[in-house]
A and B are shown apart, each in its own frame.
Chain A
């Protein structure tokens, strides 16, 4: 018996796995439809980003990469790529969640289904893309012979940041359906977060540096930015080949569990309203 009550619908035995899979498939197919190089773009995109940032920060600004975990001299592009893979997953899920929800609203006005399935499906499609990048990163690390057992922890960290992003995406997508400004605010917030994590610069440049000139506790901000915690942990396991500190692990566990739970609760409470907006 499926009972629908004011403000709540218990879906009972209904099975929404096929729907999530359907949305994921569609997102993957739509992503590189009508492009000549198709799936190649999913590799060309991150690599071109690495080239551009590598040129600007590594060559122009001469950012010095830290040494690799195997003791060899660091390679800035590799350091950059390691962080970018982690960051890109986070940003793609948050930006995508707004489009994924908006993309099914018309459909949702005509037939009932839980709209969170569209966001889950989109997140899965994004994860597939990340898997490609991960494979490339592993290949590079193998070539540099900078591998260890901790390298195997990276997928776990990526799942963690995806889960963290998903919770934020649930909230942001619903708010964006209501207020159009949310998309722009999100863009600003994301670029701020990007530079508040050691992706295009090594975390070490903040240590002991004379940054307090402006009265900003820069090192602390970067250290406590949750995205930064994931990025640094990703560096830990694949670049430095060490286990992240307990503090970082604790932050990640808390963020990765609380965020989707709270986000989904908020989403479920608010998503019925937006489907009724005429």
Chain B
């Protein structure tokens, strides 16, 4: 067992939300007794150790206190109670362009940042070229930082943070900025730091990053520590919690599309109205209604309809759209040769069953439609009126909008030169 790089013991942090009392002496004198400060506990009694040389993740939703914990560790704030023992020189990448003075040039900021870490001008002069080169900002190194793009900010910040040879590196989800190539360069560098024994602490709500990078993950929720364990264990628990919360929220939401019983022609709803969709509901394999679907799992979409008169053999269809407007699918029962009976006046429902939902997590919208048997006449078409939230589920793929459920062979090679 090596001694921990950072030992956090019973740390609590309270912020005062109102401006912290009086802002002028007069105010302080007049309203001395009534300093109505609202308290906010960003962290409550958090304790854990971060082993030296490890890649440690801190996960949690927005406002969970993870960034506050990082700021306490970096010494920017001090804990209201408890102690944080830090063993080694810290370099922090806390937010966009953190630690930059906007009026100074990139070069001057490099020296300033070095000085903050206790490195002399001379020492920084020996690495400035390397930093400029790594960040790839070219001649902008001599321009004031305030004219930098956000990408340049991050690149220079990262270049400095990793070139000052920190013993502990704090990273607060800034790596998401920057292009693919730079990100790869960053990760290469982070890995090489890690090989040299640098302790790296990454704060993020990105469960993928936690999975692939970290040795150990701590999960914070509303300022309280939930769990510290292997990434897979913590990330699964975290995601289950996030899903449960989202379901709760969706269930609480009032049904937005309270269906009009009379034909109301709006821009996104048209049709003659003999038959209309009244509601769309989602169900899992047991038939229970669910507020959101899970990627890769069973989903039944149930269309509830009302018929004003008897309608012969209507065709039901849905359109699936990603929230960015991409049309992903448009199945109907005629395409799969299922003929509907003559629908008598009244209400009813029809199920569309998807055994393995290939949509990846995200927000989607459904268009519903009911057409005559020859699809020439529209009874009801309701464009993208129904929200479909897809949460992480058993689907393994992560990139893009849909899972292709692929099978891969093992690569074969024929020895020899590739010319």
**Smallest CB gap from A9: residue in B:** B75
With A and B bound together, what is the CA distance between A153 and B178 in angstroms?
58
Contacting A181 at CB < 8 Å: which of B25, B108, B120? Answer: B25
With A and B bound together, what is the CA distance between A2 and B5 in angstroms?
10
Contact call B95/A181, Cβ cutoff below 8 A: no
Interface residues on chain A, number (Cβ under 8 Å): 35
Contact call A275/B76, Cβ cutoff below 8 A: yes
A247 at interface, CB cutoff 8 A: no
Given contacts A15-B118, A180-B24, A272-B78, contact A4 B94 (CB under 8 A): no
Task: Give 1 or 0 for each of B89-128: 1 = CB within 8 Å of chain A CB.
Answer: 1001011001111001000100111111011110000000
Contact call A110/B115, Cβ cutoff below 8 A: no
Given contacts A3-B85, A4-B78, A6-B81, contact A107 B99 (CB under 8 A): yes
With A and B bound together, what is the CA distance between A70 and B86 in angstroms?
63
In the assembled complex, the CB of B122 is this many whole angstroms from the nearest CB of chain A, namely 9
Contact call B120/A18, Cβ cutoff below 8 A: yes
In the assembled complex, the CB of A238 is this many whole angstroms from the nearest CB of chain B, namely 35
A278 at interface, CB cutoff 8 A: yes
Contact call A21/B121, Cβ cutoff below 8 A: yes
With A and B bound together, what is the CA distance between A16 and B112 in angstroms?
11
Residues of A within 8 A of B88 (CB): 2
Main secondary structure of the interface of A (DSSP, over half): mixed
Which residues of B from 46 to 73 have beta carbons under 8 Å from A? 72
A112 at interface, CB cutoff 8 A: yes
Contact call A110/B25, Cβ cutoff below 8 A: no
**Smallest CB gap from B122: residue in A:** A18
A22 at interface, CB cutoff 8 A: yes
With A and B bound together, what is the CA distance between A142 and B100 in angstroms?
47
In the assembled complex, the CB of A18 is this many whole angstroms from the nearest CB of chain B, namely 4
Which residues of B from 17 to 35 have beta carbons under 8 Å from A? 17, 19-20, 22-26, 28
Contacting B99 at CB < 8 Å: which of A1, A7, A19, A110? Answer: A110
Contact call B20/A277, Cβ cutoff below 8 A: yes
A276 at interface, CB cutoff 8 A: yes
A interface residues with partner B (beta carbon < 8 Å): 1-7, 9, 14-19, 21-22, 26, 106-113, 178-182, 272, 275-278
A to B CB contacts below 8 Å, 16 in the list: A1-B85, A4-B75, A14-B118, A18-B115, A18-B120, A22-B112, A22-B115, A112-B75, A113-B116, A178-B23, A180-B24, A182-B25, A272-B78, A276-B77, A278-B16, A278-B17
